[in-house]
Amino acid sequence: MFDARLRPLIDPPLNALGRMLARRGISANAVTLAGLVPALGAAAAIAQGHYGAGLVLIVLNRLLDGLDGAVARASGITDFGGYLDTLADYLFYVAVPVAFGLASPLNTPMAMVLVASFTLTCASFLVFAAIAARRGAETTAHGTKSFFYSTGLAEGAETIAAFIAMCLWPAQFPVIAAGFSALCLLTVLQRSLLARRSFG
C-alpha cells in the first residue's frame, strides 16, 4: 500500500550505492544471495528468542533487498535476477513467522495462519503478474522491475512494519499475526477484484 509512495524517498540513495557497487563489479544476484544470510540469521535468532538480534538482521536483509534492485538497475535487469530476488523475498517472508512459531508453542497456530496467508498473497501476486505480462501490461509504480507488480494493501513496507512490531513486542505475536493475516486476505480479495476488472 505504501511501497509506491516510499520509492521516491528510498530510491535515490539506494540507486547511488547501487551504481557504486555495479562499477566495482558486484552483481545484483550476489547482493540477493548475500541478503539470504541475515534473512536466515534473523529466523535462527528469533527461533531462539533473541528478538533484538532478529530485528537488526531483518533490517539488514531489507536493506540488501532494496540494494540488489538498485545494482540491477545500474548494471542491467535480468529475468533470472527477478526470479532469484522474488524467491529470496518469499523465503524471508516465510522464515520469520515460522521462527516465531518455533520460539513459543503459543505462537504456532497463528504462525501457520500467517504462512498460509502469505502463500495466498504470493499466489495472487504472481498469477496476476503472469497474466499481465502475457497481455503486455506495464507499470513503474514500484520502480523498474523484471515483471509486473500489482499494488495491494499488504506489500513490503507493511510486512516489514509487522515483523518489526513482532520483534519489539514478541508476546503480542498472535495478535499482530492475526491482524496482518487479515490484511493479507483483504489484499487477495482486492487483487482478485482487480483481476476480474482487468482480465474479465
Q: Which domain holds residue 177?
A: 3-199
Strand partners, 10: none
Element (DSSP H or E) covering residue 17: helix 3-23
- Dist. CA 73–CA 153, nearest whole Å: 26
The C-alpha atoms of residue 163 and residue 111 are separated, in whole angstroms, by: 12
CATH code for position 104: 1.20.120.1760
Question: Do the Cβ atoms of 2 and 160 come closer than 8 Å?
Answer: no
Cβ(146)–Cβ(41) below 8 Å: no
Percent of the chain scored above 90 by pLDDT?
61
pLDDT at 149 over 80: no
User: Does the structure show a pLDDT above 90 at 17?
Assistant: no
* CA-based torsion, 156, 88, 184, 174: positive or negative: negative
Q: Percentage of the chain surpassing pLDDT 70?
A: 87
pTM of the model: 0.84
If you search the block for the grid coordinates 482480465, which residue do you land on?
A: 199
Q: What is the DSSP string of 90-142?
A: HHHHHHHHHHHHHH-TTTHHHHHHHHHHHHHHHHHHHHHHHHHHHTT----BT
pLDDT value of position 179:
96
What's the mean pLDDT when you consider all of the chain?
A: 88
pLDDT at position 142 is 47
Residue 15: band (very low, low, confident or very high) from pLDDT cuts 50, 70, 90: confident
pLDDT for the residue 50: 98
Per-residue pLDDT at 143 exceeds 60: no
For 162, the grid coordinates are 509487522
pLDDT digits (tens, 9 = 90+) for 58-74: 999 999 998 998 999 89
* Spatial distance between the Cα atoms of 54 and 47, rounded to a whole number of angstroms: 9
| pLDDT tens figures, 187-196 | 999 999 988 9
Number of domains in the chain: 1
Q: How many CA atoms, within 13 angstroms, populate the side-chain half-sphere of residue 32?
A: 20
User: Up-side HSE of residue 185: CA atoms within 13 Å toward CB?
Assistant: 11
Whether 32 contacts 78, CB under 8 Å: no
pLDDT range class, residue 55, cuts 50, 70, 90 = very high
Strand partners, 114: none
